[in-house]
Structure 1
Amino acid sequence: MYSRRLITEERRNRRKAFFFVVLTLFTIFLIFFYGLPLVAKFASFIYDLRQTSEPVETSDTTPPPPPRLTPLPSATNKERLDIQGTTEPGASVTIYFNSKSEDVLANSEGSFSLNIPLNNGVNIISASSKDSSGNESQKTDTLEITYDKEPPEIEIIKPADGAEFFGNLQRQIIIEGKVEEGTQVQINSRMVVVEQDKTFSFASSLSEGTNTFTIKAEDSAGNVTEKTLSVSFTP
């Protein structure tokens, strides 16, 4: 009786063991042929998702264009000069003047301004830009600006100051003079043509009595010289 039960129990255990082995092999089969590819695809999907979400670092090696400077005068009588212009927003602009240089940062709109001192005579000015990646542009064209604070000279050739004229034949006079190159001339607020040899002439009819003429010369730097010429006329 006891041995029969033992044999039955052993058979039951063998069937359970066999079923477990078959189930295990079947599970391994499913994982190998179906589970691993799915796992691999899922892992690949997660990797691609991370790659697209992470920022891609790129190296900027393109230099910015040279800054655009606001037109400057060819000459000035002011000791300091404002250098203004535009470039890439946030770029650093280097202003070169004579043997010096100074940096200024462009604002969010790309505008910049720097006030620099000038030397007597000709000043050499240029500029370049540098972006946030350290790329530097070419320099702008070189500009020459003359700092001149000396007023221009006026030479009145004729008539002499205090000259007297008589009769209708002398009513019409011509004022002649000479100035420096690049100088504009006005006589009694009227523009006068300056010839290539730097001479000028101005015709006027005299009134009876004293006639006064204000001769104004202004050079390209804005310096002004005035002289007064007085003559008398008797009909």
Structure 2
Amino acid sequence: GTQCPGVGIDETSAYADRSYMNVAGEFKLISAEDINGGLMIRARMEYAMDVPVITNLAEQSYTNQDTITVEGTVTADGKVNVYVNDVKVSSVDSQDRRFSAQVNITDEENTIKVTAELNGIETEPSASVVVIKDKEAPVVTVESPLDNAKVNVEVAHVIGNVTDNIGLSKLQINDKDVVVDESGNFHERVMLNKGTNIITVKATDNAGNVTTVVRTVIAELEVPVISNILPNEDVTLTEGDTLTVSFNAPTGGEGYFRIVVPFGLESNELGIPMTENDGLYTGTWTVPEGTEAASLFIEVVYISEHGYEVTGTAEGRVIIEGEVDPNPTVITNLQPTENSELRIGETFEISFNAPAGGQAYYRILLPFEPLSNRPGNLMTEVEPGLYRATYTAHEGVVASGLQIEVIFEAQDGTTLTEIAEGRLTLVGEMQNLPISAVIIGDEAYDMDYLNSNPEAQAKLLNWYNLNKTVYIKLDNDTIVTTTGQEVSIDVLPQMLKYFDSTGIKLYSK
């Protein structure tokens, strides 16, 4: 029929032993039928090809080049056509069922697919891939540190922002990947070595575009030293005189000095600027009119270019003398010069010498009372230039180490104050010892003071360990032991030191 191929004999075939014929329902070698050669079939053969596959590009790829290589595989060698955005841009022949084509890409977004062609007929296109062409590099802003920053710490905080028009692949700082938040912000700590440190911030987008920002940071990790602070001896000046201050320190910094009153409040102001010449910092100050002072300190301030702030104090002090008054208004011979103890009703005398015709006052400075604006208690000028007053110890006031201040107002309006060398102790009556006092030997403690003072607690514990008696004042008339036994005030010593939050007080029988 028409569906069977034509059969012939190939008399030159070397494979006659592979040819058989069906004779009367039995297969026999054709050589058994005296036929020389082998059977052959003449037929027209057609071959089919599958859809080619692109192997070197992902479903979406990025590049910063104008050309790109498209590689892939086919099931049979032949022609491969490459299409970019549905336009055929290249045709190549595959070899060993592999193909490679270099194609131009002109648009920002390029859809690439390939077909195989056999005898002028193309297969269906391959799965398409999208190639994004991006030649715009990321934008990197480094806010900190500044370039050539000079610091005095071991860690630099690298802070900034990175953006890209298509997509950021990675951000690296000194070749270390860094986390970037949704807004493109980053913050990374970088350890510094002493000296010059290079910090490289490198941003790479998906297309391989790179932006690099380099920051140089110079770290000084040792505190600088200032030396040779002058003046190193006391200096006496009068109004209009010039004081020169200097010191040595590393170059490139800033120098200041300020004149400080002893025991005065510290100032936040740097002081008077100084000039530098090869590490020598020098500044001057002129004494204003009407200025007088004694034992002023000179403090210098050095701020290095790395941010260290170092202070120092000159050994020399500044004395500023005013005009000498031939008849100065002064207080002399202030009494008492020795410490005194007073009981209720006892008195003692306060006196001093000053110019005649003035007004004199005294004040007993109690530690638990605020200072009053009143001048104090009036004193009497018993003879020209001698002022005297008598103080009487009042009931209910118990204190120790009280200062006695005198105030003198001269006829010309000058006001002087001075503290007597002698201190005053007001001794209370033993029966007025505060309630709840804990008595240990010749000392007594306020309960709150005892609860908060480790030394007092240790003394109490030691007293117990020695099996000595501890007394407690329960009320105005009752003193008991810790076992509850009531005792007479006679068992107490002649004098007790009483400790509370305001200090030490004395109570006597």
Secondary structure of 1:232's partner? strand
- C-alpha displacement of 1:213: 0.7
d(CA) in 2 for partners of 1:49 and 1:225?
Answer: 74
Structure with higher helix content: 1
Alpha carbons 1:152, 1:183 under 8 Å: kept: no
Identity %: 26
Partner of 2:135: 149
Larger Rg: 2
d(CA) in 2 for partners of 1:129 and 1:213?
Answer: 52
Query: 1:70 and 2:55 equivalent?
Result: yes
Query: 1:227 and 2:213 equivalent?
Result: yes
Q: How does 1:88-103 map to 2 (within 5 A)?
A: 88-101=75-88, 102-103=90-91
Alpha carbons 1:174, 1:203 under 8 Å: kept: yes
- C-alpha displacement of 1:145: 0.8
Alpha carbons 2:77, 2:93 under 8 Å: kept: yes
Q: 2:105 aligns with which of 86, 101, 118?
A: 118
Q: Classify 1:67/1:59 alpha carbon distance in 2 versus 1 (closer, same or farther; 3 Å).
A: closer
Partner of 2:155: 172
Q: Classify 1:206/1:129 alpha carbon distance in 2 versus 1 (closer, same or farther; 3 Å).
A: same
Unpaired runs of at least 5, structure 1: 1-46
Q: Classify 1:112/1:78 alpha carbon distance in 2 versus 1 (closer, same or farther; 3 Å).
A: same
Q: 1:106 aligns with which of 91, 94, 97?
A: 94
Query: 1:162 and 2:148 equivalent?
Result: yes
Alpha carbons 1:90, 1:106 under 8 Å: kept: yes
Moved more, 221-230 or 154-163: 154-163
Q: Classify 1:232/1:137 alpha carbon distance in 2 versus 1 (closer, same or farther; 3 Å).
A: same
- C-alpha displacement of 1:160: 2.6
Secondary structure of 2:122's partner? coil
d(CA) in 2 for partners of 1:81 and 1:94?
Answer: 15
Secondary structure of 2:123's partner? coil
Alpha carbons 2:53, 2:127 under 8 Å: kept: no
Alpha carbons 1:87, 1:106 under 8 Å: kept: yes
Alpha carbons 1:174, 1:201 under 8 Å: kept: yes
How many residues were matched structurally?
182
- C-alpha displacement of 1:140: 1.5
Alpha carbons 1:88, 1:106 under 8 Å: kept: no
Alpha carbons 2:6, 2:41 under 8 Å: kept: no
d(CA) in 1 for partners of 2:86 and 2:6?
Answer: 56
d(CA) in 2 for partners of 1:120 and 1:49?
Answer: 59
Alpha carbons 2:138, 2:209 under 8 Å: kept: yes
Q: What one-letter code is carried by the residue in structure 1 that aligns with 2:62?
A: A
- Over the aligned positions, Cα root-mean-square deviation in angstroms equals 2.7
User: Looking at both structures, which has the greater relative contact order when contacts are Cα pairs under 8 Å and sequence separation is at least 6?
Assistant: 1
Q: Classify 1:49/1:160 alpha carbon distance in 2 versus 1 (closer, same or farther; 3 Å).
A: closer
Partner of 2:454: none
- C-alpha displacement of 1:96: 0.5
- C-alpha displacement of 1:71: 2.1
Unpaired runs of at least 5, structure 2: 10-38, 222-509
d(CA) in 2 for partners of 1:78 and 1:85?
Answer: 20
